Amino acid sequence: MSPILKSWRSWPLYLLAAAVPVSVSAAGIATGLVLVTALVCVLRDRGRGLRSLRPVALSLLALLVAYFLATALLDPSQWHKFSEELWIKLLLVAVPVLLIRQPGHAPRILKTVLTVGAVAAVFAVWQHFSGHDPIRDRSLMRTQFAHPTVVGFFSMHLSYAGQVMILLLLTAAHLVRARLDRSLIWPATLTALLAVALFWTFARSALLGAVAGILVLLFFARGWRRAVGLVTMGLGLAIGFLQPQVREHLGRLLETEENLTRLNLWRSSVEGIGAEPWLGFGPGNYGEMIYRHMVPGSYDVICHAHNDLLMHGVNAGLPGLLSALLILATTCWVMGRALRRGSPWDWVLRSGIAVQVGITVAGLFQVYQTDDEVEILLYLVLGCCLAVAVHVLQTPSPPVSRD
């Protein structure tokens, strides 16, 4: 059998990697293909070779059970919301299932998504200067700020911001480990391009998440790499802050009135979780929770909590919130164990931990993990990182010489 045919398990992943930065519809179809192919592999292989992934699988199962009980016992009419909230998260185990026999495809898949993401970033930079979205034939000018906000190939700037934050952390992880030769040019150029695109989304939550993730990468770095990384990040932020529009948007973080809706949504969500701690209100019922626990003040939107973790609590109570935290902890733990073992793909493992930290920090101020554009990319990336981690953990260490 030819090498191409032997790699049939990875085909859907390359398709997904090529689609997710440019089309949520195509990415959704590719995600379904990945899940179906993974199910075939599980039945064919009977789950062999995935022992190290068990903590992550169990934490994901806990989240599924919490959401299942909340939907079944509170509002069975919302099964469609149950599936919408959770089906993409299955990539967390489906991707390692497909890559367990050929983990070398994982870094290639990540480089594929970065290459297509670079095309999307060039398009976003063009949008900044043109102020126009040719795909939807609309202006990107935001009248309240008198400047455009880039959206890439998507309809909302926050969807693109979440994606470009993840891509930036991927290429930054590669840059931190690059040698001082011509191989440095590609990751350095792509990092700068993605950073510019992220700044021009003017998404403060994603920018904070990117900073948090890069700090994680620099924590793993040693010696001059850490020092150079800190200086470079500082210069990048300083150059970004030289733009009046960026300073204006970041300055709004300190304005209480500007953030009154977000603060009120957080207060309402905390009160709602406190009132229904075991099951929450069920997925799809955030509006009902708001009407029961509305606090004095203004609400510009009432469709979500502006916080990923609080959304889990409202949807499925404390079990849902704790399960989401458990997924975060177990994925980082598995990748951290593999990183300590050593691997030529350690940049993949470091990027996975940085992405988890970045999306968590960004998700404290916005909902990213209910946004398909962001969620599909997130779990594709984490799945690839876990595939590498499982391979490293299940490869016997070379014997230690006693001479």
Burial of 22 (0-12, 13-18, 19+ CB in 10 A): middle
Distance CA 355, CA 359 (A): 6
Cα–Cα distance, 123 to 126 (Å, whole number):
5
Report pLDDT for 22. Answer: 95
Which DSSP symbol is given to 401?
A: P
Q: What are the two backbone dihedrals, phi and then psi, of residue 91, each rounded to the nearest 5 degrees? A: -60, -25
Q: Quickly state the pLDDT bin for 248 (edges 50, 70, 90).
A: low
pLDDT digits (tens, 9 = 90+) for 318-327: 999 999 999 9
Kindly report the average pLDDT of the chain as a whole number.
Answer: 87
**Alpha-carbon span 336 to 331, nearest angstrom:** 8
Residue 299 has pLDDT above 90, yes or no: no
The encoded tokens of residue 356 equal 């988890």
Per-residue model confidence (pLDDT) at position 252: 62
If residue 149 lies in a helix (H) or strand (E), which one and from where to where?
A: none
- The CA-CA-CA angle for residues 329, 337, 64, to 5°, reads 35
- Whose CA is closest to 354, among 173, 91, 176? 173
DSSP result, 202-250: T-HHHHHHHHHHHHHHHHH--THHHHHHHHHHHHHHHHHHTSHHHHHHH
Assign residue 42 a region (left: φ > 0; alpha: ψ between -120 and 50; beta: otherwise): alpha
When mean pLDDT is compared across 23-27, 131-135, 333-337, the lowest value belongs to 131-135
pLDDT in tens, 340-381: 988 888 999 999 999 999 999 999 999 998 889 999 999 999
- Examine the pLDDT at 75 and tell me if it is beyond 90: no
- CA terminus-to-terminus distance, the chain: 44
pTM: 0.92
Whether the CB-CB separation of 383 and 96 falls below 8 Å is answered with: yes
Taking a C-beta distance cutoff of 8 angstroms, is the pair 103, 393 a contact?
no
Per-residue CA distances from 2 to 5, 6, 8, 63, 101 (Å): 5, 6, 11, 40, 16
pLDDT band at 1 (very low <50, low <70, confident <90, very high): very low
Instruction: For residues 180-194, give the mean pLDDT.
Output: 83
Q: What is the pLDDT of residue 255?
A: 57
pLDDT > 70 fraction of the chain, expressed in percent and rounded:
91
d(Cα 309, Cα 299) in Å, to the nearest integer?
20
Q: Is the pLDDT of residue 79 over 50?
A: yes
pLDDT digits (tens, 9 = 90+) for 41-72: 888 877 666 788 899 999 999 999 999 999 99
379 vs 147, residue with greater confidence? 379
Pairwise pLDDT comparison (189 vs 402), residue with the higher score: 189
